[in-house]
Amino acid sequence: MVSKKITVTNAQGLHMRPATVFSQAVTKFQSDVKVVFNGTAYDAKSVMMLMAACIKSGSEIEVQCSGSDEKEALDCAIKTIESGLGD
Amino acid sequence: MKGIAASRGIGIGSICLIVEHDLSFDGKKIENVDAEKVRFSAAIEKFKAETAEMAENIRKNIGPKEAEIMEGHLAMIADPTMSGEMTKMIEAGQCAEAAVTAVCDMFIGMFSKMEDDLMRQRASDISDIKISLLKILLGVEDVDISKVAPGTVLVAHDLTPSMTSQIVKGNVVGIITEVGGKTSHSAILARALEIPAVLSVPDITKQVKDKDTAIVDGTEGDIYINPDGDVIAQYVRKREDYVRAQAELKKFVGKKTVTADGKEVELFCNIGTPTDAKKAIECDGEGIGLFRSEFLFMDKPHLPSEEEQFMAYKEAVDIMGDKTVIIRTLDIGGDKEIPYMDLEKEENPFLGFRAVRYCLGNPEIYKTQLRGILRASAFGKVKIMIPLVTCVDEVRAVKALVEECKAELKSEGKKFDENIEVGCMVETAAASLIADMLAKEADFFSIGTNDLTGYTMSVDRGNAKVANLYSAFQPAVLRSIKNIISAANEAGIPVGMCGEAAADPLMIPLLISFGLDEYSVNPVLVLTARCIISKWTKEEADALADKVLSLATEAEVVAALKDAAK
């Protein structure tokens, strides 16, 4: 498993649209992708779970990827968050 | 039957009843899991196809922002957790209806408990998805409003924005609902589409069926179900008269607004976004009497910056050229959900921390707006209007902030109109009672009759049980309006009116008599107002006003005005 911590900086936090952008970006990987926030792991391929986590702008999250393409998945996840999630 | 006249004109047609469906089901265990999974998948596919089509329609007919709601539904249903949990429950022997209900209810519960307002709205999205899926699974057909036949009268409990978005203007000739008032969402949309509408007709959905014939008189607020031939013939004539009158209005295009005895007044428009200014020009408005600035704050996930505000105001000012643009500063309170503004939920939001009270309590937010307006004033004729004024201190405090902003802009070398006027909305009983004192502080008045009526009559216009009290023709409201206009006239400051009453044919002669200088109306009513104003002389209007002000009840007032109407 590979993982990395990152701060969510887009203004809305992980609301509907940003969460959709993020989950779509990681869904194409075979690896399991999880977002750990406040000690709970959420399935990053699920918009509903991402929104349920209620991650606000400025929050630090950890992205965990495990599977055959885990490195690529993590790179993509981090890049997507850094780019502002379509905001 | 009678309801609230919400959108003018006569519609005669065949009823299409929009019913709330019974979505109960028998939650029995299923035998054939595979067959149930196939049924479930088919329902999901159908939902996706329908939702995608709706999103596309909304994008084409209304705009991309409105389409986002539907696109959000698509993203949610495509979610692996959502469909995954549902599939798991079906595999455990539940029927598809039970699985959809349980999983959606779980998410609704989860989202509705969240602190974040935007997130709580997701609960209603999931509820929509649940209802749509259940309808598909149970084979309940929804009326497709976009496909109703020409000559249809829509009857519904309430008209939601998504229903209204499907209306094809040529096919729907009338609207009847059980709730809503003149200023409700459905009324505003009906007027924008120019479809006659009568709202707040109690239990109408229980009294009619599909294909019943209906007459909708949106001017008077009357409806007739399955009327006899004489009544239909009478209304066919009325409809022709109305259509002819609309054609006559075209003659007033490009003319000045003058009374029958030659007094010129200003006829402005109320707008809510910069692009509405184009509509004001198209409809021959002579300026903007009310530019609501709330859209800037509602449409964004964060406070609009000074630059964003400046650009939006400048856009409207540019469209209007050398014509006046009166910008009302932020008029918002605890009844609106703007998550980033920390507006507390209040017991009585309409009596609470809102409008100018909020702005003076948050001077940094207010100054950002004032600076944006001031910078736009360098490009045209801009005025600042303060909402919900109740005392002189508020006007003084706002003027002090305007001066502060001017000094800052000057030191930064930014241009603005040094002599920008600052006026106040007069829309509370308090402001009306001290109109003479306010007139010494303000550069102009604008009477907001919607709120003035609500606050004076102490009535919630959205509540059907008391909405009958909500009338600008109540003697108390008329006295208030007269007092405000007299105070402005005596102080020598211009006085306008930006509420719905300014375009009311019955109210106009009274306003001419009282001495109103500026009428600000919905753009589509510019020509109507100009036509009516042209019919009255001051002398005739005075005689009518004298008579009306001596009448003690609203019913007598309205009867006298209708009797005298031209």
Higher local confidence (pLDDT), B244 or B124: B244
For the entire predicted model, the pTM comes to: 0.58
Considering the domain delimited by B252-564, tell me its CATH architecture.
Answer: Alpha-Beta Barrel (3.20)
Question: 3-state DSSP helix/strand/coil percent for chain B, to nearest 5?
Answer: 55, 15, 35
Class of the CATH-defined domain B4-19+144-242 = alpha beta
Confidence tier at B185 by pLDDT (50, 70, 90): low
Pair of tokens at residue B30: 């299923």
Give residue-wise pLDDT tens across range B473-505: 999 999 999 999 999 999 999 999 998 899 999
Tell which phi-psi region holds residue A40, choosing left (phi > 0), alpha (psi between -120 and 50) or beta: beta
Instruction: Report how far residue B105's alpha carbon sits from residue B319's, in angstroms, rounded to the nearest whole number.
Output: 49
Amino acid at B385: M
Residues of B in contact with A54 (CB under 8 A): 114-116, 119
Residue B335 has pLDDT above 60, yes or no: yes
Q: Is the ipTM of this complex over 0.90?
A: no
Tell me the H-state helices in A1-87: 16-27, 47-52, 70-82
C-alpha dihedral sign at B74, B76, B77, B78: positive
Instruction: Report how far residue B430's alpha carbon sits from residue B73's, in angstroms, rounded to the nearest whole number.
Output: 46
B 498-557 residues inside an 8 A Cβ radius of A: none
Higher local confidence (pLDDT), B20 or B494: B494
Which distant-in-sequence residues (6+ apart) come within 8 Å of B23 by Cβ? B131, B134, B135, B138, B140
Class of the CATH-defined domain A2-82 = alpha beta
Asked, colleague to colleague, whether B4-19+144-242 and B252-564 share their fold, the answer is no
Higher local confidence (pLDDT), B565 or B123: B565
Tell which phi-psi region holds residue B233, choosing left (phi > 0), alpha (psi between -120 and 50) or beta: alpha
Domain extent listing, chain B: 4-19+144-242, 33-138, 252-564
Burial class (CB in 10 A: 0-12, 13-18, 19+), B78: middle
Confidence tier at B14 by pLDDT (50, 70, 90): very high
A48 touches chain B (CB under 8 A): yes
Number of H helices, E strands in chain B: 23, 15
**For the sheet containing A60-66, what is the strand order?**
A2-7, A60-66, A32-37, A40-43
Give residue-wise pLDDT tens across range B154-177: 999 877 655 666 788 789 999 999
Pair of tokens at residue B125: 């999205």
Least reliable range by pLDDT among B10-14, B143-147, B443-447, B484-488: B143-147
Q: What is the mean pLDDT of residues B127-140?
A: 87
- Contact call for B122 and A51, based on CB within 8 A: yes
Pair of tokens at residue A24: 């779509």
How many cross-chain Cβ pairs, A to B, lie less than 8 Å apart?
Answer: 45
- Which pLDDT value is given to residue B160? 64
Instruction: Report how far residue B122's alpha carbon sits from residue B108's, in angstroms, rounded to the nearest whole number.
Output: 8
B 69-88 residues inside an 8 A Cβ radius of A: 72, 75-76, 78-82
B515, B546 Cβ separation under 8 angstroms: no
Domain B33-138, CATH 1.10.274.10 — does that match?
A: yes
**For the sheet containing B222-225, what is the strand order?**
B4-7, B197-199, B172-177, B152-156, B10-18, B213-217, B222-225
